A and B are shown apart, each in its own frame.
Chain A
Amino acid sequence: MISVINISKRFGKTDALTDVSFDVNNGEIVGLLGENGAGKSTLLRIISTMLSPTSGTAIVNGYNVIENPKDVRKNVGILFGSEVGLYERLTARENIEYFARLNGMNKKQCDDRVNYLIERFSFADYADKQVGSFSKGMKQKIAIARSIVHDPSVMLFDEPDSGLDFRAARTVFDFMEACKKEGKSIIFSSHSMESIKNYSDRMVVIHKGHIVKCFDVKSYREQYTEREINDILFNLVCDGDENV
């Protein structure tokens, strides 16, 4: 369960986020749609306690990001699309172990968890090879495994499909669905309307730091055609701009 409560964030003179609020229930995927610079990454960084909000707050599984950042981090897993953020000189196993240890697992817990993840994402063949030589898809799998090494109840995906071919992207979305089935709360940001429409239950459209629309994807699909939804989204983002 995630509650984003009136979050605003300023960087110097730029307002990256203004009064953003929404909830994410357990077992729900919320898609965060926005252009470049809309403030998606900033929001996800605030929820994962890497940045602190200028005002407002977020509650993750009952923990406040400002007051209990450590407890929040125990409950949050994050996955980036463009940069998988693996250590190239470590093996796949060592990459995952490193995060397991940093999250406070002892040797036994760590070994069990890592072996489980290697099995689950089936990369036993290359678990003990250095990551540097891997293809992007292989790296993505390992990054996925690493993001849930501490079994978080909340998953944040920041543009998880960017720069991936359709097969690797599919792996990521399958994983997202699996997380949903396990009852995790999920936020996934993207600037692709298609992936958000296909995979999220609810869509939050963010434009220049403001939430401009928040709706249920399923009910919209029943009401409108694909084409119409696209037009609605397009107009939301472009209405404010004079030059369109």
Chain B
Amino acid sequence: MKMFRQALIIFLKELKCIVRDKKTFIFGLLLPLMLVPSMLFIVDFSTKNMQGQVMENVNVAMDNKDNSLYNFLNAQDVITIIDVDDFQKALDSGTISAYIKVSKDIDERVIKKENFDLEVKYNESSINSVMALTTVSQYENAYRYLIANYDFKTVDNLRESIAIKIDLSQAEEGLPKIDTSSLYFSMLVPMMLILYCCMGSAGTAADVSAGEKERGTLEPLLSTGASRSSIVIGKLLATTSMGVVSGLFTVLGLWGYLLISSSSNMPNISAFDMISLILVTVFISMFFASLNLMIGVYSKSYKEAQTYLMPVSIMCSVPTFFTYALDVSHIGILELCVPVLNMICIVKEILSGAVNLIHLGIVILWLLFYVCVSLFVTLRMFKKESVVFRI
């Protein structure tokens, strides 16, 4: 009872100190709030923008315009055929996105149903050009489809009848679509969330433990009536609050983004998913707070704590990159028991809208277990003079 009262006194004092450090505090909250939305906006905008440019207008040049392929491409709204003197220069400067080389006798060969040479040159270092290549290839396929399925008697007949407009989006239906923005979504959001759950408490953890050693306030504190356990618990509560708040702000940023974003590419997140996400965020933040505090207590200075804390943040959020291909519909017990991986799995599962309550329960139990272990280790360390008075 007395221990908890003392822990509460310490907790409230730490909170006061955190909030009074206004710049750090506000920055610490604004960053997670802004970062996820701004990254998603950028990703969404740039993918849309690139697709838009290519779909609306692709400038190409051809080495040879007296043929049915020219007539066919010329009939498409998306494709503009322009004359260039030096195609390489034009590709490099972006005047054209692709250059098409085709056999001179293509039409004769088409009528005889013989093979012909067709080569599309593009600029590998330009995103626009690479995207244009896709569009051009799609029209090339459409052209090949037409000449393979219809019989053309004469060259004139071929050149005349092939000049028809094709709606690629209809032709494409049925093919699997690569949705880049949802790919980014399922990779970026878990990473940002886990990163912020971790980083949100790192500063506070270092400040209340190693920082206190460094500023010489630890010894007076140890000489008061407060027990070492109550000191650790009070500090853990403060660290956890900071972590949870910053984790929740990350979720808030995500939620705000989903509300105002008009993008249809973004997954639909139900209220239930949102609640699960908040729940899991709270526990992930608790886990990182206890881990960070453990590191802070071990360190003898703020700087030393920072050197250990930085790699931890990175190590815990980088695996999200390697799990982007993770199939959320096949998450097994094993994945749910590996630290860090289980957090990524559950966050992805929630974001995909297929949250499994048993999985959620397992992960939360594990997280609580990790919290208990790190609290235990922290308490042990804080009672050891070789840690508290390490020189």
Contact = CB atoms under 8 A, between A and B. Distances in A.
Do A and B share a complex? yes
Contact of B216 (A48, A83, A104, A147): A83
Interface in A175-200: none
A51 B17 contact: no
A49 to B, nearest CB: 8
Secondary structure call for the B interface: helix
Contacts of B127: none
A74 B225 CA distance: 7
B174 interface: no
Contacts of B217: 85-87
A84 interface: yes
Contacts of A2: none
Nearest to A74: B225
B216 A102 contact: no
Interface in B1-51: 2, 6, 9-10, 13, 16-17, 20-21
A89 B20 contact: yes
A30 to B, nearest CB: 19
Interface string A69-91: 01001101110101111111110
A102 B9 contact: yes
16 contacts: A45-B219, A48-B223, A49-B223, A50-B388, A73-B225, A76-B223, A78-B220, A80-B216, A80-B219, A80-B220, A89-B16, A89-B17, A90-B17, A94-B13, A99-B224, A146-B220
Contacts of A77: 223
Assign chain A's interface to a size class.
Answer: 20 to 34
A130 interface: yes
Contact of B223 (A78, A82, A86, A88): A78
A208 interface: no
B20 A130 contact: yes
A98 B216 contact: no
Contacts of B389: 45, 50-51
Contact of A99 (B220, B385, B388): B220
B385 A84 contact: no
A88 to B, nearest CB: 8
B381 interface: no
A90 B219 CA distance: 17
A94 B220 contact: no
A78 B219 contact: yes
Contact of A102 (B6, B21, B218, B385): B6
Contacts, number: 72
Nearest to B222: A50
Given A78-B220, A80-B219, A89-B20, A98 B225 contact: no
Interface in A89-120: 89-90, 94, 98-99, 101-104
Interface in B216-234: 216-227
A52 interface: yes
B219 A102 contact: no
Given A80-B219, A99-B220, 19 more contacts: A45-B389, A50-B219, A50-B222, A50-B223, A76-B223, A83-B215, A85-B217, A85-B218, A85-B219, A86-B217, A88-B215, A90-B16, A90-B17, A98-B13, A101-B9, A146-B220, A147-B220, A150-B224, A150-B225
Contacts of A82: 216
Interface in A3-17: none
A121 B115 CA distance: 102
Nearest to B17: A89
A102 B226 contact: yes
Contacts of A70: 225, 227
Contacts of B388: 50
B209 to A, nearest CB: 14
Q: Which of A49, A77, A86, A99 has the most CB of B within 10 A?
A: A99
B223 A98 contact: no
A103 B16 CA distance: 19
A231 to B, nearest CB: 34
Q: Which of A48, A76, A102 has the most CB of B within 10 A?
A: A102
A83 to B, nearest CB: 3
Nearest to B2: A104
A89 B23 CA distance: 13
Given A89-B16, A89-B20, A90-B17, A98 B9 contact: yes
A89 B6 CA distance: 20
A74 B20 CA distance: 30
Interface in A45-77: 45, 48-52, 70, 73-74, 76-77
Nearest to B6: A102
Nearest to A147: B220
A51 B383 CA distance: 10
B215 A73 contact: no
B13 to A, nearest CB: 5
Contact of A103 (B21, B218, B225): B225
Contacts of A51: 385, 389
A73 B223 contact: yes
A48 B388 CA distance: 15
A168 to B, nearest CB: 17
Contacts of B21: 89
Contacts of B221: 102
Given A101-B9, A130-B20, A73 B224 contact: yes
A94 B217 CA distance: 14
A154 to B, nearest CB: 11
A130 B22 CA distance: 13
